[in-house]
Amino acid sequence: MSPCIGQKNRCPPYENDEEPCLACSNTGANKPPKPRHTAGFLFDNTAMTSAEAAHDLDKKGEALKIQRFEMLTDIAKELSGEVIFPTYFDAVLRLRKVLHDPEQSIANIAHAVSVEPLISAKLLHLANSVVFNPEGRELVDLKSAIFRLGLNAVRTAALSIVMTQLMRAKGMAEFSEITHSLWEHSVQTAAAASVIARQMPHQNADEAMLAGLIHDLGAFYMLYRATQYEELRHRPDSIKYLIVQWHESIGVSLLNALGLPEEIVEATVDHDHMRATPTKIRNLADIIYVANMLSGGHFEWLMQDQPELPFELASIEEKYGHLRPEIEALAAEMRSSFT
Mean pLDDT of 87-95: 87
**CA dist., res. 327 & res. 330, Å (int):** 5
Q: What pLDDT shows up at residue 246?
A: 84
DSSP 159-179: HHHHHHHHHH-GGGGGGHHHH
Mean pLDDT of 87-105: 89
pLDDT digits 0-9 by tens, 22-81: 334 333 333 333 333 333 333 333 333 334 434 444 445 676 677 777 887 888 888 888
Own/partner pairs for 198-207, CB < 8 Å, 24+ apart?
A: 199/281, 199/323, 200/281, 200/287, 203/281, 203/284, 203/287, 204/140, 204/141, 206/140, 206/141, 206/142, 206/143, 206/144, 207/140, 207/141, 207/263, 207/264, 207/284
- Domain limits, the chain: 38-43+172-338, 89-166
Q: Which pLDDT score, from 0 to 100, does residue 331 have?
A: 94
- What would the pLDDT profile of 150-174 be if each residue is shown by its tens digit? 999 999 999 999 988 888 887 787 7
Q: Is the pLDDT of residue 294 over 80?
A: yes
pLDDT of residue 81: 81
pLDDT of residue 12: 40
pLDDT given at position 264: 96
HSE toward the beta carbon, residue 233, CA cutoff 13 A: 12
Over the stretch 298-335, which tens digit does the pLDDT of each residue have? 445 344 445 566 788 889 999 999 999 999 999 999 88
Per-residue model confidence as pLDDT tens digits over 104-155: 988 889 988 999 999 999 999 999 999 999 999 999 999 999 999 999 999 9
Per-residue pLDDT for 282 more than 80?
yes
**DSSP 8-state code for residue 119:** H
Class of domain 38-43+172-338: mainly alpha
